[in-house]
Amino acid sequence: MSSTKVIYALYNDDDVLMDAVKQTRKAHHHIEEVFTPFPVHGLDKAMGLAPTRLAICAFIYGCIGISVATWMMWNIMINDWPQDIGGKPSFSYLQNMPAFVPVMFEMTVFFAAHLMVITFYMRSRLWPFKKAENPDVRTTDDHFLMEVSVSGDEEAMIAFFKNTGAVEVKVIEKH
């Protein structure tokens, strides 16, 4: 099993972190991950991450939800067991459509929301009982950690990250 060295640069301000990420990218160092106690607006763009495609998944899941709702209501209320409810005709789906709109909306939201959560967990590899990968517990409270692969002169990289405003810089052997 090969091991590589990474630098953990710890910051105590999100604005300093954003500047450090931009400087690190400009210096062509590879940022493995950034750990933050709260979402930092614009960090994904500063890191150069590709835009998320979760919105496309949400649209597809919503389409699946409205399709299931439409099929379910037609099958239950028109085809399988038509009933006279409030004098409404039960032989046509289109004539009953206004009564079905709330169910179609709720099923669209239900499918989109639940399948999005499942997709997010699978994409993020967040399985039940998974061991936490957080390298420093302070990142859950008030600090920000940038994990960068060591390439080239290790001492020069440590000095670089101290100059970016890091309050602590550590070199770790990662397996």
Tokens of 171: 């070199």
User: In the chain, what are the domain boundaries?
Assistant: 4-50+134-174, 54-123
pLDDT of res. 3? 55
More confidently predicted of 2 and 10: 10
pLDDT of res. 30? 92
pLDDT tens-digit series, residues 13-61: 999 999 999 999 999 999 999 999 999 999 999 999 988 888 999 999 9
Q: Looking at the domain 4-50+134-174, which fold is it?
A: Alpha-Beta Plaits (3.30.70)
pLDDT of res. 124? 84
pLDDT tens-digit series, residues 80-136: 777 777 776 677 777 778 888 999 999 999 999 999 999 989 988 888 888 888 888
pLDDT of res. 1? 45
Q: Could you write out the three-class secondary structure of the chain? A: CCCEEEEEEEECCHHHHHHHHHHHHHCCCCEEEEECCCCCCCHHHHHCCCCCCHHHHHHHHHHHHHHHHHHHHHHHHHHHCCCCCCCCCCCCHHHHHHHHHHHHHHHHHHHHHHHHHHHHHHHCCCCCCCCCCCCCHHHHCCCEEEEEECCCCHHHHHHHHHHCCCCEEEEEEEC
pLDDT of res. 54? 87
pLDDT of res. 66? 96
Q: Is the pLDDT of residue 154 over 60?
A: yes
